[in-house]
Structures are given as C-alpha cells and as structure tokens.
Structure 1
C-alpha cells in the first residue's frame, strides 16, 4: 500500500527547491502518486477484471469501472472490525444482535474522491507536463511553464493527499460469485452475480490469452449463458473449421495480414483485414412495393 506521507515529503522537498526543473518534477510526482492511488485499487480486482475489460485508461475511470463491475465500496471509506467473542452456537437474527458483540478494529480504508483525483491529475499535467501548441499570437516557446501556477496546483495535490490516512485496502465481491474456466488457458474468470443483470463481454484475465466471452443472464434459469467470441473459417486445405478468437481482430489494421496454421493439415492460411460492402435493403421501398402489388 502506498505510503502517502512519504510521497508528500518527496513532493514538498521539490517545492522547496523552487526551480523551474524542481517544480516540473514535483508536478510529475503528483501525477504519478494520483495514478498509483487509483491503480492500486484496480490491482485488488485482478481476479475479476482484465486490462482488456477496461473501457478507458484514465485513472479515475479505471476505479469507476471497478466500482460498477465488481465492488461498489472500492472508493468508499469504511472501517473493518472483527469480533473478539466466539459466535459458535449463537443464533443471530437482527443487526442489533451483531452490534452487541465486542469488536477490535483491523483497519480503515480512506475514501477516494474520483472527481477531485481527475481534476488534479489533469491540472498538474496541463500546467507543467505538456508544452502548449503555439499559434500566431504566442510568445517564445519555453520548456518550463509558469512557476506560480504550478506551485499552486502542486499544493492542491498535497492538500488532497494529506487527509488520506487509511491503512487498509479491500476489494472483491461479498456476495455470490459466478465463475467459469477459460476454454483456452483454463484460467478462472469471475464476476459478481449481482453485476450480471445485462449481457456483457468479459476477457480472460490471463494477459497472454486472447479469449473473450459474452455473458448473458439466462431467462429460464437462475444461471448465466456463456458464449465464446470467435470467428469461424473453413480451411482451404482440408475443409475443417478453424476458430479464431474475436479479440485478435480488434488489433488488426486495414490490409494487415494474420497467418493461421490449421492444426489438422498444417496448412498456413492468410487472413487480410479489408472492408466488406453489402447492399442494405430499403424497408420503406419494400413496403411501398408490397402496397402497390396489393
């Protein structure tokens, strides 16, 4: 877990040097610290979310997606305690029954204000870590930007970090979990059942595996239908079906070539990414034709 006070010390030391270079480095340290705060919370959900599942790489959006797909408490403040009294043989029926026990605190997770993280992350980047694109009214280009504006934004980051004093991070599903093994590599893929309320695409959490799946809530049973996302091609050599993970094609560009070796006849086939055109029937014209025929 990140040592927040140590990070603040590094940033404040650079502030005190008060040079163009040190303030720029302070802004960079701020950005890295904010990213770390977000990504360490994402790391706790490795067993649930693949990097390929992420819709956006902005730190705030990564944590937001973890909250939406896995754990609502990932950015919330809470205290974890454990009872010091044995509970075997006791019949607990109400919340008050549990609250009556004696507890010892294990740790506290601090809240993470994602909107403020996002604002500060962008702020230090725009002020210090990018050169503005010049235009006809711009002055001379400079490597380092306005010192006072950078100092003010860096101090804002320090003020944001200082109250983060939690000594605990916890993530995962506290309820029922749906799981299955990847068809190709055997890695277990998991999702909280309460999050599977609509069709969703999930990727294998193994970074070396190209498999992905469509998960759909079953209408007939309390279950989930799993569909492997693949493209099927017929081998020109032996006419057998070849199955290629759909995720592979996401990375291909126009006219890029993909070589596939048939496991049956060992033929090498070339797939080329090119546009496909087809005629789309005009439904309105079709209806007008039917009315004319009548």
Structure 2
C-alpha cells in the first residue's frame, strides 16, 4: 500500500525549492501519486478483470469500471473487524447476535473521491505537464507554466492526499460468481454474477494468453463461447481456428501469419475493409 505521508514529504520538498523546474517536478510527482492510488486498487482485481478488457487506461475510469462490473466497494470507505467470540459455544446465527459480540479492528479503507481525483489529475497536466500549442497571438513559447498557478494545483493535491487516512485495501467480490478455466492456458476466470450482463466479453487474465470469451445469458444460466475467427487452410483445406484477440490491434494492410497444424502451410491474413451491400 502506498505510503502517502512519504509522497507528501517529497512533493513539499520540491515546493520549497520554488523554481520553475522543481514546481513542474512536483506536479509530475502529484500526477504519478494519483495514478498509483487508482492502479493499486485495480491490481487487487486482477483475478476478475483483464487489462485487455479495460475501456480506457485513465485512472478514474478504471476504478469506475471495476465498480460497475465487479465490486462497488472499490472506491468506498469501510472498516473491517473480526471476532472469535461465541454465543453459548457456537458461532452467531442472527444479525442481533453478530452485533452483540466484541470485535477487533483490522483497519479501514479510505474513500477514493474519483471526481475530485480526476479533476486534479487533468488540471496538473494542463498547467504544468504540457506546452500549449502556440497560435499567432500566443507570443513566446515557454517550457514551463506559471509558477503561482502550478503551486496552487500542487497544494490542492497535497490537501486531497492528506484526507486519505485509510490503512487497508481490499479486493474481491461478495456473492455468487461465474467461474471457468481458460481453454488454452487453464487460468481461472471469474466474474460476479450480479454484475454480469448478457453478451459480456471476458479476456483471459493471463498476459501471455490471447483467448477471450463471450458470455451469453440463457434464462437463469450463462453460456460461455470462445471468441474465434475461422479460416480454411490454403494448403489442405483444414479449418483454422484463431483467437479473435489476435486481430484486435491490426490496422489497415497489417498482416497476420497463420500456420496450419495439419500440413504446416502458412497462410497470410491481410486487414482490409470490406463493403457489404444489402440485398435488394
């Protein structure tokens, strides 16, 4: 877990130098800290969400996606306590009994105020970490932004970080889960059923695996369909089955070599647009 106190000390030390360079570095350290706060929570959900399934790399939206698809507690404040106390020699059975026993606190997860974090994250880049594109009326180009504006944004981040007091982070989900093993690498994949929508795509969480699966809801159950694209081998006519994710990053005129396991003939797939006209 990130030591926020040390991060604040580092940022304050840069502020005290009070140069254009040091203030810019302070803004960069602030932005990296905000990223870290989001990414360390994302890391706790690796068993549920592949990096390939993220809709964006931006910190706020990663946490928002986790909240919507896996666990809404990811950005909330809550405390965790445990107890070994019994009720007449047995474990508590009702809400009243659970509330009547003594607990030992394990810690508290601090709230992550995403709207505020995102606003600070973007404003740091705007005032300190980018050179504005010049125009005919903008005058000289400056490497650094205005010191007083950068300092104010950095101080806003320090105030934001100072409010984060938690000493605990928890990841996972509560309730029933859909789980299955990847057909290619046998890695276990899972998602909470309560947040699982029809036709959800799950990519294998193994970074060395390119498999993905379409989850279709059938009444009260789910059907798991491997996402593939099929071709016929140009040498022997054998059906070639290729994971669909192999094609996700291909651009116009990019090529993908496919080797037939039956006859070893290599086929080339070229990414080109196709015009499909509706039937008259």
User: Alpha-carbon deviation of 1:5?
Assistant: 0.6
- 248, 251, 259: which is aligned to 2:249? 251
Asked whether the equivalents of residues 123 and 153 of structure 1 are also in contact (C-alpha less than 8 Å), the reply is yes
Asked whether the equivalents of residues 15 and 23 of structure 1 are also in contact (C-alpha less than 8 Å), the reply is yes
* 1:228 paired residue number: 226
* 1:206 paired residue number: 206
Whether 2:162 is the aligned partner of 1:191: answer no
Q: Deviations over 1:74-112 (max 9, x none)?
A: 00000000014136634513x222111100100000000
* 2:132 paired residue number: 132
Which shifted more, 242-251 or 192-201? 192-201
Aligned residue pair count:
279
SS state at 1:265 partner: coil
Structure 1 unaligned residues grouped into runs of 5+: 283-294
* 1:43 paired residue number: 43
Counterpart CA distance in 2 for 1:210 and 1:74 is 27
SS state at 1:215 partner: strand
SS state at 1:24 partner: helix
Counterpart CA distance in 1 for 2:170 and 2:85 is 23
Counterpart CA distance in 2 for 1:120 and 1:274 is 42
Asked whether the equivalents of residues 84 and 104 of structure 1 are also in contact (C-alpha less than 8 Å), the reply is no
Structure 1 segment 140-155 matched on structure 2, within 5 A: 140-155=140-155
Q: Quickly say closer, same or farther: Cα 1:90–1:14, change in 2 above 3 A.
A: closer
User: Alpha-carbon deviation of 1:178?
Assistant: 1.1
Q: Quickly say closer, same or farther: Cα 1:257–1:90, change in 2 above 3 A.
A: closer
Counterpart CA distance in 1 for 2:112 and 2:32 is 16
TM-score, reference length from structure 1? 0.92
* 1:89 paired residue number: 90
Structure 1 segment 79-118 matched on structure 2, within 5 A: 79-86=79-86, 89-90=90-91, 92-93=93-94, 95-118=95-118
SS state at 2:208 partner: coil
Counterpart CA distance in 1 for 2:196 and 2:145 is 48
Q: Deviations over 1:127-176 (max 9, x none)?
A: 00000000010010010110000000000000000011110000111111
Q: Quickly say closer, same or farther: Cα 1:90–1:209, change in 2 above 3 A.
A: closer
Whether 2:270 is the aligned partner of 1:260: answer no
Structure 2 unaligned residues grouped into runs of 5+: none
* 1:286 paired residue number: none
* 2:267 paired residue number: 269
Counterpart CA distance in 2 for 1:119 and 1:180 is 39
Higher Rg of the two aligned structures: 1
* 1:2 paired residue number: 2
* 2:52 paired residue number: 52
- 239, 242, 245: which is aligned to 2:240? 242
* 2:67 paired residue number: 67
Q: Deviations over 1:247-270 (max 9, x none)?
A: 111111111111110011111111
SS state at 1:244 partner: strand
Counterpart CA distance in 1 for 2:199 and 2:236 is 36
Name segments (4+ residues, structure 1) moved above 6 Å: none
User: Alpha-carbon deviation of 1:233?
Assistant: 0.3
Counterpart CA distance in 2 for 1:164 and 1:231 is 47
Counterpart CA distance in 2 for 1:272 and 1:90 is 64
Q: Quickly say closer, same or farther: Cα 1:11–1:91, change in 2 above 3 A.
A: closer
